[in-house]
């Protein structure tokens, strides 16, 4: 269309719905909503957010999006997909009589802002706050109905005061395995001091322990504790990483740097104490099964037995035991060697263990076992260094050659009495079980491969059922079966021969317990959560250390401990491949902040302390933010208990409470969701909240994808500048490849919501994103297709407003029956679709009704108003404008959503197909409620059927009222 034609059309239709009119409408109503507090959700009781008890008395809905990070790149059209979806759902819930809490804050600590600060010298707070301002403006333009009074950023001291407070609750708690809940650490101190609970074996009584000894003992129980432990050290980033932040290739998720195993003193969260509850409570959550499965696999529950194998220490001055966890304790007679993880304390001699590595090789040691080293110590040291450079995934790869070295030590098989050699090998990890295994090579494929490589003996103890015989020397691989009989498994003290696997497991487990050398137990793959980062831009730990290195909690009166200003934001980074380095944090360089004189209120008066110079991980702030939304201005409590119970407390269908709907990406299946669940359970145990789970219903939205175009070098080129010619794609005269992938600035294919809003309006963008397909499915962005939803809104506008005069054109006529049926079917379908988050099909039904109304000569007001109400959750700006033009004073946001009349939802007639021997011979228009008998009679009386039968008898009539009759002639 030429510019002249466009101008002419505009002159004849000056009140047409255009991008310019949409921009005016949207800006006006956004200002109105803000001024009127349209989206403010009242809390029960008084306070700044209290009041409006009539609204509080309604059923509540707490609807949340996963915390966004305020990126400097701003939003592209893929980012708001979930935000628009929750907004549509929240609007629908308001219109169906709910008090709806829907808001959005910002997860603003983290690595990107720190890296930007390092590159530019801009303080992370400055760049982050600027990004938040920009992102808020972009989100506001979309018309998202957030209660802005409840919004916050995690970098605000008034917020992270409570993150620090929660950390101290966890630090000052322990998990009582008998009560199955967390309790204050003071209770444990009382039990030790009174003697009701003896100190563990190997430790002196409480009264005999000095301050350091008591702190060390309590650290073994605290839910937040510091320890020297194997960690994922990333020299290229200058920080340690949680297991979940390391890729399968053994590199950092951010930056793709090599990650090494190192032993450092770090803060940890004892999430393992909650493993069973984290598993059990999944059953009561309305989450996608795929996410539940990922959490179950990550927690990794397995039942088996703990078994102690006696072993001499290196110099024979004391006896030790190698403790293994096995799920196949029935195969104990087949254990012919043992393997320790390279990091095991019995190898290093660290912790409370004495090393089992002797000074010299035992007589008769095979050359293949030594790795070519003169002494066991040299062999072990060299192998440990080699293993430190591999990721856990690399170490456990099935296809790799098995490597290891003999430690020089022997253990004793407790059932056979045989001496078995003890190796270290990288296919055994400290992160599972005890970091030690009893190797049964005849019945485990990895052990079989290792035994073959090192010429170790194998013993068949589970009788093969595949005819291979019982000599493992003739086998190609191990025989693994849970449905076979035990053989070669009898000794003077216990006999298992002839038993099935379950019976043998039960018998040997009982025998181990009787002998005091083992017991049945449950093991978990889940490891404690590494909670330290060697970064600046994170929450400071509210912990100080005295001159003896003992950790002390800051009193609540000293919170928040604010992040100090520093000149150098960067942790010290190293050569990415240099594993022999240690962290140096930015905070440690701030001497005046690190070393302080404080009175902690513990009766000891002012003393010199050293602050913790690590910071919390970026996950800390997102572990509890749902609670801050409830009571964001409370500076006296984490959250008002009555407010928390109202919004998140348990109720019918929600046995553990939580948020009603939580929408976000499936990539957070383990990290954020597992951590947040853990924090919720600790707070629940300590009586701070009534909800044991943070998020009752979880919904994972798909991804909006875009085509990525790459030149011959594989470098992305600007998608907007690519031309399509003859089925190929060209950029500046060069042929480029096209592949569907992510959308992003770095891929040069990002489309911003600002662009689409400027060309079509925010309501069109909202409709398009919701109409692209099912919310949980990824879909490709196509800017050319946006116009379809733009035209829907233009037709809607014309059904109410005269484009030439701007006058409302609806009438007070009664709608005809066809229109009533179209209207009420749409109402019924849209209600169901919006309730179930099927926004694409809801839009299809609205479109169908809208198209019907365009054909009506005079649009009845009753139809136009309900059509506008149907559109309101999806396209709120145009709906608000039309609602007021139709003469209403109140906001459409709080209008009642239409309810269908059942009489018009059911079709007046349906078409019944009549077949003879499966071939269609007639069609009948019948009532939807017709009975089988009446339908059969009508079909047999139909002239076309009488003619087709031509007097033939009938053997059978199959009736499926009201849609099918199939006649089988005799």
Structure tokens belonging to residue 633: 């201005």
CA distance 880 to 885: 9
Residues 875-896, mean pLDDT to the nearest whole number: 97
Percent of the chain with pLDDT strictly greater than 90: 79
Q: pLDDT digit string (tens) for 844-869? A: 999 999 999 999 989 999 999 999 99
Q: Which of 492-506, 622-636, 837-851, 906-920 has the lowest mean pLDDT?
A: 906-920
In this predicted structure, which of 172-186, 720-734, 760-774 has the lowest mean pLDDT? 720-734
* Strand ranges across the sheet with 543-545: 551-553, 543-545, 607-611, 595-598
Confidence at residue 520, expressed as pLDDT on a 0 to 100 scale: 96
Q: Could you give the CA distance from residue 202 to residue 187 in angstroms, rounded to a whole number?
A: 22
Pairing mode, strands 260-269 and 698-700: unpaired
> Residue range 135-154: average pLDDT?
96
C-beta separation of 431 from 387 below 8 A: no
- Residue 221: the pLDDT is 97
DSSP β-ladder status, 734-741 and 704-710? antiparallel
Encode 767-796: b = buried (16+ Cβ within 10 Å), e = exposed.
bbbbbbeebeebbebeeeebeebbebbbeb
The CA–CA distances, whole Å, from 835 to 56, 91, 95, 752, 828 equal 21, 11, 12, 29, 11
Contacts of 830 (CB under 8 A, 6+ apart): 842, 845, 846, 870
Are the C-beta atoms of 834 and 873 separated by less than 8 Å? Answer: yes
Residue 744: CB atoms within 10 A of its CB come to 15
pLDDT of residue 218: 97
Across residues 814-820, what is the average pLDDT? 94
Instruction: For 609, list phi and psi in degrees, rounded to 5.
Output: -135, 160
**Which tens digits make up the pLDDT trace of 660-675?**
999 999 988 888 999 9
3-state SS of 700-760 is: ECCCEEEEEEECCCCCEECHHHCEEECCEEEECCEEEEEEEECCCCCCCCCCCHHHHHHHH
DSSP result, 537-589:
SSPBPSEEE-TT--EEEPPGGG---PPPP-S--PPPP--TT--S-----SGGG
User: What is the Cα–Cα distance from 98 to 56, expressed in whole angstroms?
Assistant: 9
Tell me the pTM: 0.86
Indicate whether 265 pLDDT > 90.
no
pLDDT at residue 545, rounded to an integer: 97
Chain segment 221-251, per-residue pLDDT in tens? 999 999 887 788 999 988 888 777 888 788 8
Instruction: Say whether pLDDT at 5 is over 60.
Output: no
Percent of the chain scoring above 70 in pLDDT: 97
Does residue 47 or residue 379 have the better pLDDT? Answer: 379
Phi/psi for 550 (5° steps) reads: -85, 135
Question: Which phi and psi (to 5°) does residue 521 adopt?
Answer: -155, 165
What is residue 10's predicted lDDT score, i.e. its pLDDT? Answer: 56
pLDDT at residue 315 above 90? Answer: no
Residue pair 620/164 in contact (Cβ under 8 Å)? The answer is no
Q: Burial, 63: exposed, middle or buried (Cβ in 10 Å; 0-12, 13-18, 19+)?
A: buried
752 vs 134, 606, 702, CA distance in Å?
13, 56, 18
List pLDDT tens digits, range 532-542: 998 899 999 99
pLDDT higher than 60, residue 490: yes
* Model confidence band, residue 143 (pLDDT cutoffs 50, 70, 90): very high
* Per-residue pLDDT at 399: 55
What the block records as the tokens of 505 is 């497991």
Q: How far apart are CA 543 and CA 93, in angstroms?
A: 44
Least confident residue range of 77-86, 423-432, 691-700? 423-432
C-alpha 263/C-alpha 583 separation (Å) is: 11
The secondary structure element, H or E, covering residue 210 is none
The whole-number pLDDT of residue 261 equals 81
Cα–Cα distances in angstroms (integers) from residue 291 to residues 86, 296, 667, in the given order: 20, 9, 9
| pLDDT of 232 | 87
What is the rounded distance in angstroms from the CA atom of residue 668 to the CA atom of residue 898? 37
pLDDT at 156 over 50: yes
521's CB contacts (< 8 A; 6+ apart) are 303, 304, 305, 306, 325
pLDDT of residue 2: 46
Please give the DSSP secondary-structure letter assigned to residue 422. Answer: E
Mean pLDDT confidence for 614-635: 96
Task: Quote the pLDDT of residue 519.
Answer: 95
By three-state DSSP, how is residue 968 classified?
Answer: strand
Interatomic CA distance for residues 152 and 137, integer angstroms? 15
Burial 311-329 (b: 16+ CB within 10 A, else e): bbbbeeeeebbbbbbbebb
Rounded CA gap, 689 and 49, in Å?
A: 19
Which position has the higher pLDDT, 10 or 910? 910
Q: Please give the biggest Cα pair distance in the chain.
A: 111
Supply the DSSP symbol for 909.
Answer: -
Compute the Cα dihedral for 647, 652, 653, 654 and give only its sign: positive
Neighbouring residues of 745: CB distance < 8 A, sequence distance ≥ 6: 73, 76
397 band by pLDDT with thresholds 50, 70 and 90: low
Whether residue 3 has pLDDT greater than 50: no
3-state DSSP call for residue 323? strand
Length of the chain in terms of residues written: 970
595 membership: H or E segment, kind and range: strand 595-598
Q: What pLDDT score does 318 carry?
A: 55
Report pLDDT digits (tens) over 90-128: 999 999 999 999 999 999 998 888 888 888 888 999 999
Q: How far is CA 249 from its chain centroid?
A: 21
pLDDT at 48 over 50: yes
- Identify whether 630 is preceded by a cis peptide bond (ω within 30 of 0): no
Q: Is the dihedral of CA 350, 355, 360, 361 positive or negative?
A: negative
Residue 830 has pLDDT above 90, yes or no: yes
**Rounded Cα–Cα distance for residues 128 and 114 (Å):** 10
**Residue 247: predicted pLDDT:** 85
- Please report the DSSP string for 445-490 in residue order: HHHHHHHHHTT------B--SSS--S-GGG-SS----SSSBB-S-B
Q: Note if the bond before 320 is cis, omega within 30 degrees.
A: no
Q: Where are the beta strands (DSSP E) in 135-180?
A: 173-176
């Amino acid at each position: 269309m030429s510019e002249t034609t466009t101008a002419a059309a505009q002159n004849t239709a000056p009140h047409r719905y255009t991008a310019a009119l949409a921009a005016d409408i949207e800006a006006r109503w956004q200002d109105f909503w803000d001024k009127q507090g349209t989206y403010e959700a009242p809390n029960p009781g008084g306070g700044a957010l209290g009041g409006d008890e009539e609204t509080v008395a309604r059923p509540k809905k707490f609807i949340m999006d996963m915390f966004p990070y305020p990126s400097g790149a701003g939003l592209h059209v893929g980012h708001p997909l979930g935000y628009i979806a929750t907004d549509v759902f929240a609007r629908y819930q308001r219109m169906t009589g709910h008090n709806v809490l829907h808001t959005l804050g910002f997860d603003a600590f983290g690595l990107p802002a720190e890296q930007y600060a390092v590159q530019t010298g801009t303080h992370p707070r400055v760049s982050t706050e600027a990004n938040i301002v920009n992102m808020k403006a972009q989100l506001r333009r979309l018309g998202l109905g957030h209660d802005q009074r409840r919004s916050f950023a995690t970098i605000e001291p008034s917020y992270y005061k409570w993150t620090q407070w929660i950390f101290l609750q966890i630090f000052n708690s322990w998990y009582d395995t008998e009560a199955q809940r967390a309790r204050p650490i003071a209770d444990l101190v009382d039990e030790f001091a009174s003697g009701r609970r003896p100190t563990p074996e190997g430790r002196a009584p409480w009264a005999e322990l000095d301050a350091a000894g008591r702190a060390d003992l309590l650290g073994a129980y605290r839910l937040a504790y510091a320890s020297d432990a194997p960690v994922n050290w990333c020299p290229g980033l200058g920080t340690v990483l949680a297991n979940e932040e390391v890729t399968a290739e053994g590199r950092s998720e951010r930056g793709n740097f090599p990650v090494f195993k190192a032993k450092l003193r770090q803060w940890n969260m004892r999430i393992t104490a909650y493993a069973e509850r984290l598993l059990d409570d999944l059953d009561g959550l309305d989450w996608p099964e795929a996410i539940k499965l990922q959490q179950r696999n990550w927690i990794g529950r397995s039942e088996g037995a703990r078994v102690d194998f006696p072993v001499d220490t290196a110099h024979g001055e004391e006896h030790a035991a190698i403790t293994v966890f096995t799920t196949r304790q029935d195969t104990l007679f087949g254990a012919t060697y043992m393997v320790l993880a390279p990091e095991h304390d019995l190898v290093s001699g660290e912790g409370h263990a004495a090393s089992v590595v002797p000074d010299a090789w035992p007589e008769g040691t095979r050359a293949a076992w030594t790795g070519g080293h003169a002494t066991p110590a040299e062999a072990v040291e060299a192998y440990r260094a080699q293993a430190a450079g591999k990721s856990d995934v690399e170490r456990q790869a099935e296809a790799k050659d098995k490597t290891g070295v003999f430690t020089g030590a022997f253990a004793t098989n407790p059932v056979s009495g045989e001496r078995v050699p003890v190796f270290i090998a990288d296919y055994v990890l400290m992160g599972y079980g005890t970091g030690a295994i009893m190797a049964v090579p005849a019945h485990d494929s990895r052990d079989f491969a290792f035994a073959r490589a090192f010429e170790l003996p194998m013993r068949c103890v589970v009788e093969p059922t595949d005819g291979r015989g019982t000599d493992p020397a003739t086998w190609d691989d191990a025989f693994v079966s849970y449905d076979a009989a035990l053989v070669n498994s009898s000794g003077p003290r216990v006999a298992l021969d002839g038993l099935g696997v379950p019976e043998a497991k039960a018998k040997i487990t009982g025998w181990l317990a009787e002998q005091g050398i083992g017991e049945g137990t449950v093991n978990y793959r889940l490891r404690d959560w590494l909670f330290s980062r060697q970064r600046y831009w994170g929450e400071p730990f509210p912990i100080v250390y005295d001159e003896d290195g003992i950790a002390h909690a800051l009193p609540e009166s000293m919170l928040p401990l604010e992040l100090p200003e520093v000149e150098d934001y960067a942790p010290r980074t190293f050569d990415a491949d240099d594993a022999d380095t240690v962290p140096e944090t930015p905070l440690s360089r701030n001497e005046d902040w690190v070393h302080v004189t404080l009175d902690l209120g513990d009766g000891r008066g002012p003393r010199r302390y050293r602050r913790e110079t690590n910071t919390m991980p970026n996950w800390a702030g997102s572990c509890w933010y749902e609670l801050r939304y409830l009571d964001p201005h409370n500076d006296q409590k984490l959250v008002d208990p009555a407010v928390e119970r109202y919004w998140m407390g348990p109720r019918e269908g929600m046995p553990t409470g939580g948020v009603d709907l939580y929408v976000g990406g499936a990539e957070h299946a383990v990290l954020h969701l597992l951590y947040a669940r853990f924090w919720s359970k600790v707070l629940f145990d300590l009586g701070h909240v009534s909800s044991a789970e943070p998020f009752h219903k979880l919904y994972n939205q798909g991804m909006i994808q875009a085509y990525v175009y790459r030149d011959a070098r594989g470098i992305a080129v600007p998608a907007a500048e690519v031309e399509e010619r003859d089925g190929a794609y060209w950029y500046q005269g060069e042929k480029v490849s096209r592949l569907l992938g992510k959308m992003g600035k770095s891929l040069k294919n990002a489309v911003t919501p600002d662009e689409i809003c400027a060309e079509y309006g925010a309501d069109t963008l909202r409709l398009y994103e919701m109409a692209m397909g099912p919310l949980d499915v990824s879909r490709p962005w196509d800017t050319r297709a946006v116009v379809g939803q733009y035209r829907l809104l233009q037709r809607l506008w014309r059904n109410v407003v005269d484009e030439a005069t701007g006058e409302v054109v609806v009438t007070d006529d009664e709608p005809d029956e066809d229109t009533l049926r179209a209207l009420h079917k749409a109402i019924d379908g849209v209600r169901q679709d919006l309730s179930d988050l099927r926004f694409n099909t809801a839009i299809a039904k609205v479109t169908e009704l809208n198209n019907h109304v365009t054909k009506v000569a005079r649009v009845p007001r009753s139809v136009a108003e309900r059509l506008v109400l149907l559109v309101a959750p999806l396209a709120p700006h145009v709906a608000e404008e039309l609602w007021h033009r139709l003469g209403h004073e109140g906001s459409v946001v709080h209008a009642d959503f239409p309810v269908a009349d059942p009489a018009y939802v059911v079709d007046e007639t349906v078409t019944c197909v009549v077949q003879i021997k499966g071939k269609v011979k007639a069609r009948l228009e019948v009532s939807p409620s017709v009975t089988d008998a009446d339908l059969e009679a009508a079909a047999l009386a139909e002239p076309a059927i009488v003619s087709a039968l031509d007097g033939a008898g009938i053997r059978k009539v199959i009736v499926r009222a009201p849609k099918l009759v199939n006649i089988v002639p005799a």
